Structure 1
Amino acid sequence: MTPDFVKTAPIQTLLDRASGMNAEGGDDRLKAIVRDLIEAVMVAIVKHDISESEFWQAVTFLQQGAGEFGLIVPGAGIEHFLDLYMDAKDSEVGLSGGTPRTIEGPLYVEGAPLVEGEANLSDDADDTDTLHMSGFVTGPDGEPVQNAVVHVWHANSQGWYSHFDPTREQTPFNNRRRIRLGADGRYAFHSKMPNGYSVPPGGATDRLMKAIGRHGNRPAHVHFFVEAPGYRTLTTQINFGDDPFAADDFAFGTREGLLPVPDRRDKSAFIAFDFQLQRAASKEDENFSTRARAKA
């Protein structure tokens, strides 16, 4: 049987009813999206001749993996796809330039301490090298961006993020800060060197990756939000260019222009990296996305 079966009248009627297309009330846009999503599942079932048992195994997997959807989405390439889609939409309207966007990931925590000057991100002792990172935030014409705030967060040397650390050994905002910049747009911070990490062993994401012959490793990296009045808020991260997984990030967070190689010497590593923002076309451009984020 071919996927054309889904286009038959009984199935199309079922789709209309299941998505509420013929029902009064509700959101028309949501109805259309739900209809397309259900239809896509039906097409996949027919195309691959998915059995009833296989289908319910998938449902069980999704139920068990509910706590890891934030990892499954980037691991499946969907979060990176959203970045590529937004890039393409920018290109259609003639927007270009600026630091590349890339995935946020699921491990941001709201309310990190707001500091000025050179920031120390690390509250906790960690027997590893010290990372020093600095640079400038500029606009599309190279102008210093005033009143910018740089949000920065990363893992510790064991690959654990504060707030999400199963050992419960980290303080709530270890390796997390918001840095308010001065008129020159310069930022600087130091912290204990982060390490790469893998998805939780035996968890839903790990099982999925192994089932399709992939690994679940991320290179060492540092996350950023950069926000400023009049500019589009940037979501990005840098991956360490000398990490063995820099070119094979399971979450597809690596992008050209975001791979600085640390200058490692004397128990320290130095990274110089500048951010360039695009101007906001509307107030909405200055806002963060409305995805749910953790609170300490």
Structure 2
Amino acid sequence: MNHQDIENLVKRINVDTANGPVDQRVQQVVVRLVSDLFKAIEDLDLQPSEVWKGLEYLTDAGQANELGLLAAGIGLEHFLDLRADEADAKAGVTGGTPRTIEGPLYVAGAPESVGFARMDDGTESDHVDTLIIEGVVTDTEGQILPNAKVEIWHANSLGNYSFFDKSQSDFNLRRTIYTDENGRYTALTTMPVGYGCPPDGTTQALLNKLGRHGNRPSHVHYFISAPSFRKLTTQFNIEGDQYLWDDFAFATRDGLVATAVEVKEPAEIQRRGLDKPFKHIQFDIKLVKEAAQIPSAEVERRRASA
């Protein structure tokens, strides 16, 4: 069957059969995706068993709650970021901190504070390095932004996230910090580590077929928002990790690599209220002003809520 025949078939099946109100946008998307799928089946000579195995895979991935992970692993989230970058560039929107993927592990409702928050519950502090993350939130002209909302989340020393890992306390390593009058935020936490996809999960099963690993470098996630500014979804990956530029989720980008500096000076340790050396990361953030001529930076998607 040639491509024109396929397009005619899809129209006959999914357009001409309509006998009630039609959501034009949904119809447009379905017709395009189904047409492309049928063309791929024809062009690649996919056999019925292969098609059904693909459907079974998507069923299993959904039941395992891994479709969000799969979206990162096949580069879908990264592609959406690249498209958003292009839209910004066409609209002349420049100068902000780079965006990168959200991933599937955000949880709404983290405890809120102003200026400072301790993120960890202390269960790993005896065997994991203490980390202080701090920075200033400004606009692209360098003007500070007090009361900007900085949401931060990251993995523990085993590469696991609270809420999804039921052994952790509620909102461990998850906080919302509003910047102080100087536009500053400070998070006292523990050093995160990278993680891999569940080895027996559906995402890793596909990556195995592609000859790919499923590992991420050590990283920390952010949402940053302020009135009249575009919401920023980003993260920094930590320099020195073996997967820094080999992230299976393609989230490492120029401008989003952070260096964890070891601090050993007794006076600085005391000033921070600590009793041992710690790691320090400076991560300043620049937000761009909202603009009407480009798509919203607020992404509507289903997210966990504790």
TM-score (norm. length: structure 2): 0.90
For the pair 1:281 / 2:305, whether they are aligned, the reply is no
The whole-number CA distance in structure 2 between the counterparts of 1:184 and 1:103 is 28
Give the superposition deviation at 1:21: 5.5
Is 1:270 the counterpart of 2:280? The answer is yes
Please state how far the C-alpha of 1:117 moved relative to its aligned partner. Answer: 2.5
Q: Work out which of the residue numbers 21, 25, 34 in structure 2 matches 1:25.
A: 21
After superposition, the Cα gap between the structure-2 partners of 1:123 and 1:48, relative to the gap in structure 1 and judged at 3 Å, is same
**What's the CA shift string for 1:198-225, capped at 9, x where partnerless?**
0111110010000000000000100000
Whole-Å separation in 2 of the counterparts to 1:96 and 1:7: 42
Shift of 1:287: 6.9
- Are residues 1:51 and 2:47 paired? yes
Tell me how far apart the structure 2 counterparts of residues 29 and 22 of structure 1 sit (CA, whole Å).
Answer: 17
- Aligned-partner Cα distance in 1 for 2:22–2:222: 37
Match of residue 135 from structure 2: 135
Q: How far off is 1:104 after superposition?
A: 0.4
Whole-angstrom CA distance in 1 between matches of 2:13 and 2:237: 44
Distance in 2, matches of 1:20 and 1:39, equals 12
The CA deviation string for residues 63-108 of structure 1, in whole angstroms up to 9 with x for no partner, is 1111200100010000000000011011111111100000000100
What is the 5 A alignment of 1:149-168? Answer: 149-165=149-165, 168=166
What's 2:123 paired with? 125
Under a length normalisation based on structure 1, what TM-score does the superposition of the two structures give?
Answer: 0.93
SS of 1:236's partner is strand
Aligned length: 289
1:220 to 2:218 alignment? yes
CA contact (8 A) 1:152 1:177 kept: yes
1:214-264, Cα deviation, whole Å (9 max, x unpaired) = 000000100000011111110000000211000000011111100112113
Q: Residues 12-41 of structure 1, C-alpha deviation per residue, up to 9 Å, x if partnerless?
A: 332113333662412111101111101111
Are positions 1:7 and 2:4 aligned together?
yes
Identity %: 43
Cα distance change, pair 286–178 in 1 and its aligned pair in 2 (3 A):
farther
* C-alpha distance in 2 between matches for 1:234 and 1:178: 14
The 8 Å contact of residues 232 and 297 in structure 2, kept in 1 or not, is answered as no
**CA distance in 1: counterparts of 2:15 and 2:56, whole angstroms:** 26
Classify the secondary structure of the residue corresponding to 1:198: coil
8 Å Cα contact 1:232/1:285 also seen in 2: no
Distance 1:258 1:210 in 2: 28
Alignment gaps of 5+ in structure 2: 265-276
After the TM superposition, which parts of structure 1 deviate over 4 Å for at least 4 consecutive aligned residues? Answer: 284-287
The equivalent residue for 1:144 is 144
Moved more, 83-92 or 42-51: 42-51
Unaligned runs of 5+ in 1: none
Q: Distance in 1 between matches of 2:216 and 2:140?
A: 31
**Residues 154-179 of structure 1, C-alpha deviation per residue, up to 9 Å, x if partnerless?**
000000000001xx221110000000
- Judge conservation of contact 1:229–1:286 (CA < 8 Å) in 2: no
State the superposition RMSD in angstroms. 1.8
Q: Distance in 2 between matches of 1:286 and 1:57?
A: 37
Separation in structure 1 between the aligned mates of residue 16 and residue 258 of structure 2, nearest angstrom: 50
| 1:16 maps to which of 11, 19, 30 | 11
